[in-house]
Structures are given as C-alpha cells and as structure tokens.
A and B are shown apart, each in its own frame.
Chain A
Amino acid sequence: MSDTDFFDADEKAFIDGFLEKGYAIVPLQERERLDAVRARMYERAMKQLGPSGAKRPSLDAFFDHTERFVPVAKLNDFRLGVIEGLNKDALLRPALFKMARRHIEWAIGSEIAMQRTVNLSIQLPKDKSSLLPLHSDVWSGNSPYELVLWTPLVDCFKTKSMYVLERPESETIFREFSKYKEFDAEKLYRQIKPKLVWLTVPYGHAVLFTHSLLHGNRVNEEKTTRWTFNVRLKGLLTPYGVKEMGESFLPITVRPATRIGFEAVTLKK
C-alpha cells in the first residue's frame, strides 16, 4: 500500500471486486457464534417437532435431511414457528452482523441500519413450494443502497444455493427493461440462464450482495436441505425505499459525530 492510499490493499481489492460483480462470498469471523446460532435453531426445531432422547436426529442429520422430519405440507407452518422463535432471539442479529462486520463495513461504511427481522429460508430437496423466482428487489421499490447478508447454516452449492446475474449483465437488463416488460419471470430466467452464476457457499461463509442484482433460486435438486438466513443492511443515512427506517430498519451503529449532528439539526426547531 502506498502512503497516498486511504484503503488498505485487501480492502481495496474487496471493493473493486464488489463493484465489478455486485456480490462477494466472505468468510465469517468468530465461527463459534454461527455454531451457537445453529445449536439454538436445532433445539427450537426439536421442541417444535417433538422427538426427544434417542429419537432425536443428530444436529447435522437434522439440517442436512430436514425432509425426513418435516413433510412439504407442513414446511411453511414449521418455518413460521422457527422464525417466530428466531426473531425473539436477541442474540441473532448482533451475531450475524459481528460475524460479517469487516466486509459489511468495507461494502457499506461504519454507520449502519439493519433490518429488524431476519428471514429464514428452508428448501427441501425437490420441493417446489419454496421457490424465489428471478427478481431484483429494487424493481419493487426497495432502496438500491441496501445489501443483503445471506448466511447459510449448511454447505450451499449448485441448485441447493442461489444464483445471481452479475452486475454488468443485471444493469444491462435494467437499462433495456422495456424489451422484457412483457416477459414473465420464467421466460426472463430462460433468456439469461447461460449468464447466471450459482454461488458455492460453504458453511462458515456468507454472501453479501446488492439486491439490485437479478437473483433467485430453483428447485433444490441436490440430496440435502438448504437452510439460510437473509437480512438487509444499509448505510444509516442513505435513502430508504419501501422498507423504511423504524418500520423495517433500525439504527445499529450510530457514531458520536452523527449524534451530535442530529442534536444540532433538531435543536434548530
């Protein structure tokens, strides 16, 4: 690094890569936090499903083969039950943030607003009921200043993962949207399929991506279940879209200079 640079070399490399592709797969720090989150999820799921003692599957068997314990017909009720418990877990949001903090701050900055609720996706093998068709969240009014932190609780690869259309190609579709406006999501998917990138994300890693990218998932054709968290983060003072400050986001890291500025602004009235 030269003395005239402001970013460190590794930070600059991350920023350049993120600008180029619109996403990054990042290793999580303090991996024991993720193990603890997974263990709490497992206990919550066991409580909901009922098996006890010797009938309990091992933690790994449960996450990899959830289809053996939760039929597709009961998946959504099960998922909602787990989510309800999750969002009462005061440790979850801080844990997700702290594990990826370094790269979040490299991508966003140090003053951050975080979505109030963490979303959970469970995709059983061959299940067609939990699909997220190709979309860009910005097209439905979300702020383009938001990033998504997508954190798997299992190894994710091929159709057990998610796909993205990298930034230059996504921006081309956005610019030429009038050409596609008569398409449905499936037709658009087929059109851009050769350019999509399926993300390989081992347990202990997360994806940080701008939801202006076209992205989605397909039927999980692998042999094991996908479990992933997603939560949105953005610069505290950047513009908000349909997910507003207070309703959907809360400040998590406000610095003193900004707080002093807030005071100065509000004291004028």
Chain B
Amino acid sequence: MKKEGWRGYIFSREINGQMIPQRVQNLVLRNYAQKSGLQYLLSATEYHMPGSFMMLESLYPSLKELEGLLFYSISMLPESKAGRQKLYAALAKHRCGIRFALEELTYAKPKDADLIEDVLAVRKISAQADLSLLS
C-alpha cells in the first residue's frame, strides 16, 4: 500500500499550560509542512478532557496508509510512559514518523525516542523551579 501524507494532530485543551487556538495550531502545521516539503493532511483534534488521547489512538489503524503524524508540539505526547511506548510501537510497526512543528523535532526511528524522552523529562523536572523571584 502506498503511504501518503502527514496527518495533523492538534489539541482542544491546554498545551504546556497555554491555550493555543486551533486555528493557530493549524497555521503552524501548514507552514511547517510547506517549509519541509511534507504533504499535510487535515488535522485530527484531540478531545478537551484532561488525559484523553482517544483521537490519537484512533489514528493508529490508519498509520499503514500514512507517512506519519504531524503534531503541533512535543507537549502533546501521551503523559504516561506506557502511552508513549504504545505510540512508538505503532509508529515502528507501520514505519511511520512524527514531526513536531513547534520544536522542529523529528521522530524517524526508535532511537529518536531517546532525545524526545530526555526533552520531556527535563521539561518536567525544570518546571518545578521557576523564575518568579525575578519579577
């Protein structure tokens, strides 16, 4: 089966503590896809309920027809390690990638998960300190 295009994936809830309008998320995806020469396919929108990844999981069966997923941000990955491993496994099974438009990061092969996991862990730990004393 011919694999074609990158399916957009956006949120209808906060991303990393900020509410980003869906129109803005889609603009960023379209711009990134154009700049990177990717065929952008209409975005799937995740439900607003905290912790829901139902829309993401519903994309897994279609991965066999796609080149990959185009996320607005790395912060939209499943919060649990098990959830992310399930995603990485689905990607590996169908030889798909993920592009993260905001951070311009790429998951193209299983080894790329190491950097993504490091970035997520550093964000999580360093977020416990803040710079509010400066203001």
Contacts and interface: CB of A to CB of B under 8 A. Distances in A.
A265 interface: yes
A91 interface: no
At the interface, is chain A mostly helix, strand, loop or mixed? loop
Given A237-B126, A238-B126, A245-B126, A265 B131 contact: no
Given A246-B74, A250-B119, A251-B118, A267 B103 contact: no
Contacts of B103: 246-247
A99 interface: no
A144 interface: yes
Contacts of B102: 247
A254 B80 CA distance: 21
B129 interface: yes
B57 to A, nearest CB: 17
A265 B121 contact: yes
A269 B80 contact: yes
At the interface, is chain B mostly helix, strand, loop or mixed? helix
A262 B79 contact: no
Interface residues of A, number: 23
Contact of A266 (B100, B105, B121, B129): B121
A240 interface: yes
A251 B122 contact: yes
Choose among B74, B119, B120, B126 the residue with the greatest number of A CB atoms under 10 Å from its CB: B126
Interface string B78-92: 011100000000000
A143 B132 CA distance: 11
Contacts of B126: 236-240, 245
B134 A138 contact: yes
Contacts of A144: 131, 134
B15 interface: no
Interface of A: 113, 138, 143-144, 236-241, 244-247, 250-251, 254, 259, 262, 265-267, 269
Give me the 4 closest cross-chain CB pairs, A-B, nearest first: A262-B121, A239-B129, A246-B103, A246-B119
